[in-house]
Amino acid sequence: MIGGITINKIQIVALSCILLFITPSIQTQKTDNNSVIFVDDDNTLGPWDGSIEHPFFFIQDAINAAIPYDTIFIFNGIYYENIIIKTSISLIGEEKENTIIDGDNRGGVISVEDGNSILITNFTIQHGIDTTEKRGYGISSNTSNDVRIISNIITNNEDGIIIQKKSQYCLIIQNEIVGNELGFDLCTSTNNLIYENKFIDNTLGLILFNSSNNCILKNIFDNGEKHIKFYNSYDTIYNNYWGKSRRIFFIFGYKSLFGTNLIIPWIRCDFKPARSIDAIESNPLAIMDTTKGKMIFELYSSKTPVTVQNFISLSNIDFYENIVFHRVIDDFVIQGGGYYSNGTDVESPLGTIDLEIHPEVRHEDGAISMARTNDPNSATSQFFICDGKQTHLDDNYAAFGTLLVGFSVLRAIASVETETKYGFMKDWPVDNIEINWIDILNK
């Protein structure tokens, strides 16, 4: 049943196609055999063997039956389960308010173990409480990469979300993390993005423990005075809304944060809060996977709409797949978007776009901007990423976004050895650096 409508076999096949189209993006190594597996807690036909006529009764059974990069769609209902995910899958609920995974006070609700490329979206996840010496949790990522936790309600758990044990490039986006003892625990992990979440009525909103190079951006915190604790962390935190309280806890105690910026040796923080909840602007995110690692960008769609849409449109047709960074200059830029590794150039099917300059989008360290010829209105598909601040490019080139996560990847690419290739291409890396794919979220 979806919305009270009975779905027959033909309709379910059609739903499979729709799901593959509307599913929040997760870039994976898809195969021709990828399929949608259904789970329904009140299916009366049985025997829940995974066929189209008979969905699985338990989510864990569907996960165990899935092959990498399958989608598992869970119909509305309450599922009293404690789930372990080790396979690259997309786990999607029908309606997040009514598709409920309940840990039933038996420990963690969803545990991702040594996983890669996993999506968890559109659920209420609750009652991750453990009566033994261990703590319960709603979702835990352990030694995993590219776990995307998007648009869920995480409530009434001991720990809402835990990202730990060297997990990387996890995206925690637009979740409601409400009424937990601890909203979010980021522990011994790097290069994760916590973006546009609501931390409401948790006993403590966020702990950062031995974490580094993570980005906490555009979140809403309303947890009394206990928003955040730091323990030996070096992360970037800015443009969040802190409600009426601006107090955080360090090892040595609480500190009020009235004023502009707070600089602490082991972290980089800008605690000047967003003026209001409405002042937090939602933007598309671009995840760029390269042979040197991943970079995650925020694209300023309201300030540079034409340039951002051009980049998104090219990414959505897989234009950038297997294209190289062909111009790399340390402490200046890395440039790509125009050539394959054999020197063959590639032309954008969308043509040129006009130069689009916004006074608030500057060529800061990590800025992504459009390359062009001497004609200001000649940009097509080529872009560059600033390795360090490049103010002399302001008002001459169209910057349209900024790097949030993956500065180590930017530095690694910028510092490679280069040479002249194909007789005329200067600053081409000796060992080619390719873009594997670009994935767009928050379109």
Q: Digits of tens for pLDDT over the chain (443 positions)?
A: 333 333 443 344 444 444 444 444 444 444 445 789 999 988 766 666 666 666 899 999 999 999 999 999 999 999 999 999 999 999 999 999 999 999 999 999 999 999 999 999 999 999 999 877 778 999 999 999 999 999 999 999 999 999 999 999 999 999 999 999 999 999 999 999 999 999 999 998 899 888 889 999 999 988 876 778 877 778 888 888 887 655 555 543 333 333 333 444 444 444 566 777 887 889 999 999 999 999 999 999 999 999 999 999 999 999 999 999 999 999 999 999 999 999 999 999 999 999 999 999 999 999 999 999 999 999 999 999 999 999 999 999 999 999 999 999 999 999 999 999 988 899 999 999 999 999 999 76
| Architecture of the domain spanning 285-441 | Beta Barrel (2.40)
285-441: same fold as 9-279?
no
Distance separating the N- and C-terminal Cα atoms of the chain: 29
- The candidate with the shortest Cα–Cα distance to 436, out of 279, 287, 219, 239, is 287
Query: Which residues lie below 8 Å from residue 179, measured CB to CB, with a gap of 6+?
Result: 155, 156, 200, 201, 202
Q: Which residues pair with 110 in a beta bridge?
A: 83, 139
CATH class of 9-279: mainly beta
- Going from N- to C-terminal start, the domains of the chain cover 9-279, 285-441
Q: Which two tokens stand for residue 177?
A: 């993390």
Q: How confident is the model at residue 163, as a pLDDT? A: 97
Q: Which two tokens stand for residue 427?
A: 């600053």
Could you identify the residue written with the tokens 């196609």? 17
Cα distance between residue 100 and residue 39, in whole Å: 12
The SS3 assignment for 115 reads coil
40, 2 Cβ separation under 8 angstroms: no
The SS3 assignment for 194 reads strand
Cα distance between residue 197 and residue 217, in whole Å: 9
Cα distance between residue 162 and residue 114, in whole Å: 14
AA identity, residue 93: G
* Pairing state between β 425-429 and 418-421: antiparallel
User: Interior CA angle at 164 toward 67 and 405, to 5°?
Assistant: 85
* Pairing state between β 399-405 and 367-370: antiparallel
- The candidate with the shortest Cα–Cα distance to 176, out of 105, 110, 123, 244, is 123
Q: How confident is the model at residue 13, as a pLDDT? A: 42
Give Dmax (Cα) for the chain.
Answer: 70
Cα distance between residue 175 and residue 158, in whole Å: 17
Distance, C-alpha 58 to centroid of its chain: 28
AA identity, residue 197: N
Please state, as a whole number, how many other Cβ atoms lie within 10 Å of the Cβ of residue 318: 11
**Span 260-276, pLDDT tens digits:** 334 444 444 445 667 77
Q: DSSP string spanning 84-100?
A: EE-S-EEEEES-TTTEE
Q: How confident is the model at residue 276, as a pLDDT? A: 77
Q: How confident is the model at residue 239, as a pLDDT? A: 85
152, 123 Cβ separation under 8 angstroms: yes
Alpha-carbon distances, residue 33 vs 21, 29, 54 (angstroms): 16, 11, 20
Note the pTM of the prediction, 2 decimals: 0.88
